[in-house]
Amino acid sequence: MSQKSSIHFDISERKILLRFFDIISVLSLLYLVGLIFDFDYFKINEEHWVWSIVLALYLTIFATIFELYNLQKASKFETVIQNVILTSSVTVLFYLLTPFYTPELPENRLQIIYFYISINLSLFIWRYAYIVLISAPRYFKRVLLLCNIEDLDTIITSLHKSDPNYKVIGFISTGSNNSSHFQSENLLRFNSENVTDTVEKNLISEIVVAPSQEGSITVSLNNQLINLLENGVPIREYTQVYEEITHRVPVQHVDKDFYRYFPFSRSNQNKLYLFFHRVLDLLFSIIGLTFGLCISPFIIIGNLFANKGPLFYTQQRVGINGKHFKIFKLRSMIVNAEKDGAVYASKKDVRVTKFGRFLRKSRFDEIPQFINVILGDMSVIGPRPERPVFVKELSEKIPFYEIRHIVKPGVTGWAQVNAKYGETQDDTLEKLQYDLYYIKHRSFFLDISIVFKTLSTIIFFRGQ
């Protein structure tokens, strides 16, 4: 069989593509401007090669912070315009403020304007080309799904939401339920008699097999899949695809034997990683508490007039290995908010004061937690520490919930910067999936990614 397929780019390939051409487009236009116009502030030559490297470094860092590499947002030009302006503005500002590694300020200040406009223009042109060309339907990954029809809508929604270029175009039901009712639109239903023809005629890029409780993949279907695999058609298991695309561990599809599914990161036991992690914890804590002291007059005045009560509060939380500790936070709720017992906070909780809502959105309420980091109860990065009463309740309802306690809880974390506010059990399950992904893939690279995402959360005022 000669396998035909449409061209497509995986998530990692698209992110690399965006980063590479962001830099190439900016440097190319600046070089062109230098040739055509009287522009000598920024030069690309052997003598000043450091200038280009520093510019590329700043551009990559701030583009990450301002979410230019978020694939969902990178496909929406209105959002891209906003993020490009923010990225180029901060990049140029930092570039001008570091003359040790960058050009000295020119006598003709208009050249700075040319520099700024060139960066914006080059990014706008390239990102528009990306949206029109790379994000176009012809570059979508076309997927055939093998699953129970009861799981169909949930599976498709989770995949499409996380990667808009990952399109399930059809499915083959592997369960006993032959119902024709499903919510997903424009979805084709195929039979299992000739999967090879289905793959060829529909230009399938990948086949995804979702776990079936009934184990109802027939011998005939299994042999067809083996034949397709031998002919170069990628066939993958759904939990693998889910984890790769969503960056979450799908605990709802995992058996009780979780050791097979959670080969936890070696960093959890790596003494060198843990040593440097602790050093960075202390460094970030000192910086965070110093910043807190700088803004403390504003916080005290705001609390005095808007919160009217104690500035701080403490609460029992569950830490590493299930040990309890007292967490320190700035008070954001009314006094005696839980006089009738522990209650989950909601997104529009009436117990939160107006000033408290600002503290939560800006994440300033979490600054005192750096004291917990210094004391060793918490880390800067890790799962959110939960209250004992809620841990007991959630452990009974959600599988593997207590696994999140094998690492220190964090001031920020993979779940905090990715998941929405947890108001329901489904929201809590989603956060657990992110926490388990962090524990499974814990590394310096992932930690740095969380730091950048946390900065984005603060800048765009998305705190909870």
* Co-location of 319 and 362 in the same domain: yes
Whether 6 is covered by a domain: the verdict is: no
pLDDT > 60? residue 6: no
Residue after which a domain boundary falls, among 134, 161, 192: 134
SS3 content of the chain, % helix, strand, coil (to 5): 55, 10, 35
Answer whether residue 191 shows pLDDT above 50.
Answer: yes
Over 70: is that where the pLDDT of 341 sits? Answer: no
Same domain, 331 and 427: yes
- 3, part of any domain: no
**3-state SS class at 148:** coil
Distance from C-alpha of 117 to C-alpha of 415, rounded to nearest angstrom: 37
Same domain for 285 and 370, yes or no, is yes
Average pLDDT over residues 418-423: 74
Identify the pLDDT of residue 2.
46
Residues 303, 349 within the same domain: yes
Residue 254 within a domain: no
**pLDDT, tens only, 377-412:** 999 999 999 999 999 998 888 878 888 999 999 999
Range of the domain at 115: 11-134
**CA–CA gap between residue 160 and residue 241 (Å, rounded):** 12
Coil, strand, or helix at residue 421?
coil
Q: Please check whether residue 371 lies inside any domain of the structure.
A: yes
Highest mean pLDDT of the ranges 215-224, 250-259, 327-336: 327-336
Give the rounded percent of residues in the chain with a pLDDT score beyond 70.
Answer: 87
205 or 10, which is more confident:
205
pLDDT at 1: 47
Identify the band that residue 121 occupies on the pLDDT scale cut at 50, 70 and 90.
very high
Are residues 144 and 73 part of one domain?
no
Statement to judge: residues 294 and 411 lie in one domain: yes
Q: Return contacts of 228-235, CB within 8 angstroms, 24+ apart.
A: 228/1, 228/195, 228/196, 228/199, 231/1, 231/3, 232/3, 233/3, 233/199, 233/204, 233/206, 233/207, 234/205, 234/206, 234/207, 235/206, 235/207, 235/208, 235/209
Asked whether residue 424 is assigned to any structural domain, the reply reads yes
Percent of the chain with pLDDT over 90: 41
pLDDT at 176: 67
Please report the pLDDT score of residue 250 as a whole number: 81
pLDDT tens per residue across span 78-102: 889 999 999 999 999 999 888 788 8
pTM: 0.81
Domain count, the chain: 3
Q: Give me the CATH number covering residue 231.
A: 3.40.50.1380
Name the domain boundary from 116, 134, 152. 134
User: Which of the listed residues 83, 111, 134 is the one where a domain comes to its end?
Assistant: 134
When pLDDT is cut at 50, 70 and 90, the band that residue 328 belongs to is: very high
Residues 270 and 351 in one domain: yes
Q: Note the pLDDT of residue 364.
A: 92
**Residue 61: its pLDDT value, please?**
93
291 within domain boundaries: yes
Query: Is residue 129 over pLDDT 50?
Result: yes
Secondary structure tally for the chain: helices H, strands E: 16, 9
Q: Which of 112-116, 189-193, 256-260, 302-306 has the lowest mean pLDDT?
A: 256-260
412 lies in the same domain as 443:
yes
- Is 1 a member of any domain? no
Same domain, 239 and 307: no
Residue scoring higher pLDDT (299 or 421): 299
Co-location of 414 and 302 in the same domain: yes
Q: Is residue 402 part of a domain?
A: yes
Q: Are residues 47 and 88 in the same domain?
A: yes
Q: What is the DSSP letter of 236?
A: E
Q: Please give the mean pLDDT across all residues of the chain.
A: 85
Assess whether 158 and 92 both reside in one domain. no
